[in-house]
Amino acid sequence: MSIDLVTRKAWGARAPRGAYSRLTSTRGVKVHYTGGRIDPRMLDDHSRCVAAVQAIQDHHQFGNGWIDTGYSALTCWHRKVFVARGPHVVPAANGAGLNSGHYAVCALAGNSGLVEPTDDLLLGILDAIEWLRAEGGAGREVKGHRDGYSTDCPGKPLYAWVKAGAPRPGIVPPPASPPSNAPSWPGRLLEFPPITRGSDVMQWQRQMRDAHGFELAADGAYGQRSRDVCKTFQRRADLDDDGIVGRLTWRAAFADQDET
Ligand SMILES: [Zn+2]
Ligand SMILES: [Zn+2]
């Protein structure tokens, strides 16, 4: 899907009240939110998005005294990207001294009402970022307004998304290897004779007793009885029954735990 740009003319932008400062490129983009309450009816009514974008321009021009909306672009719940200052223009929303480093993209998300980003909201932000990269020389960084500036913006859910690397929704990340409770092989052979002693022996004995039903004292001393248990276990597990707990025998002992 190509970017769904809403031109300044289309959203009824007022002209800037002064000359923009130009820039050639930025390190990246900072993500903002509107904060406050966003009426959930906005989800089904894009005209509310347009009105919100206009209200932000009013506030920035006449409340903050800026020449224009402080953002480079705004994005809504319908995956539309509103052109604000646009590419190659210094934004005003990142905070004094921080504006030439990053473009500013604001999502119409609040901290009450509409708070949790939808896929379309996130895709709109990504569309805006890609547009600023292609048209405005934005670098790879994606940060939040609160990076380097004392603010809650862009709110908890959006900031978590930014911190996760602004992943594209709908792309399932490769599964992390399942958490394993199995202790790793201690890296030495448990054998008899002579008696092998240690906490690794005790761990293996407990596993033999508790998980595999052997009658075995977990005394941390690998002796005759441990060796016999080991051989029986190895035969059951189709392993070479040498009575020595090496890597394969250890793994087999804890294998069930790998699968939980
Ligand atoms: Zn902000
Ligand atoms: Zn909308």
How remote is the CA of residue 49 from the centroid of ligand 2, in Å?
A: 5
Note residues around ion ligand 1 (Cβ under 5 angstroms): 32, 145, 153
Buried b (16+ CB within 10 A) or exposed e, 28-49: bbbbbbbbeebeeebbeeeebb
Assign residue 242 the CATH number of its domain.
Answer: 1.10.101.10
- Closest ligand to C-alpha of residue 43 is 2
pLDDT at 176 exceeding the cut of 60: no
**One domain for residues 244 and 136:** no
How remote is the CA of residue 151 from the centroid of ligand 1, in Å?
A: 7
Assign residue 42 the CATH number of its domain.
Answer: 3.40.80.10
Tell me the β-bridge partners of 95. none
Predicted confidence at residue 260, as pLDDT, reads: 41
Query: Mean of the pLDDT values across residues 252-259?
Result: 73
- Closest ligand to C-alpha of residue 46 is 2
Q: What is the pLDDT of residues 17-75, one digit of tens each?
A: 999 999 999 999 999 999 999 999 999 999 999 999 999 999 999 999 999 999 999 99
**One domain for residues 157 and 255:** no
Predicted confidence at residue 170, as pLDDT, reads: 80
Predicted confidence at residue 259, as pLDDT, reads: 47
**One domain for residues 62 and 138:** yes
**One domain for residues 51 and 129:** yes
**One domain for residues 153 and 217:** no
Number of folded domains in the chain? 2
Does some domain include residue 93? yes
**One domain for residues 99 and 208:** no
**One domain for residues 30 and 158:** yes
pLDDT at 174 exceeding the cut of 60: no
**One domain for residues 65 and 156:** yes
Band (pLDDT 50/70/90 cuts) for residue 184 is: confident
- Closest ligand to C-alpha of residue 41 is 2
Does some domain include residue 174? no
Q: How far apart are CA 243 and CA 224, in angstroms?
A: 10
Question: How would you classify the pairing of strands 5-6 and 138-144?
Answer: unpaired
How remote is the CA of residue 119 from the centroid of ligand 2, in Å?
A: 13
Query: Mean of the pLDDT values across residues 128-141?
Result: 97
Predicted confidence at residue 172, as pLDDT, reads: 61
Please name which of 28, 73, 48, 36 lies closest in space to residue 153, comparing C-alpha atoms.
36
Does some domain include residue 22? yes
Does some domain include residue 169? no
Last residue of some domain: 116, 147, 163?
Answer: 163
Q: Residue 94 corresponds to which amino acid?
A: N
**One domain for residues 204 and 130:** no
**One domain for residues 144 and 215:** no
Does some domain include residue 122? yes
Predicted confidence at residue 171, as pLDDT, reads: 67
Band (pLDDT 50/70/90 cuts) for residue 1 is: low
Domain of residue 217, residue span: 196-259
**One domain for residues 128 and 219:** no
Does some domain include residue 207? yes
- Closest ligand to C-alpha of residue 105 is 1
Band (pLDDT 50/70/90 cuts) for residue 2 is: confident
**What does the block give as tokens for 245?**
């707990």
Does some domain include residue 70? yes
Predicted confidence at residue 13, as pLDDT, reads: 98
**One domain for residues 159 and 200:** no
How remote is the CA of residue 47 from the centroid of ligand 1, in Å?
A: 23
Q: Which residues contact 258 (CB under 8 A, 6 or more apart)?
A: 178, 180, 181, 182
Helix (H, G, I), strand (E, B) or coil at 200: helix
Token pair 């690998």: residue: 222
Does some domain include residue 170? no
Q: What is the pLDDT of residues 61-94, one digit of tens each?
A: 999 999 999 999 999 999 999 999 999 999 999 9
Q: Which residues contact 63 (CB under 8 A, 6 or more apart)?
A: none
Last residue of some domain: 163, 182, 208?
Answer: 163
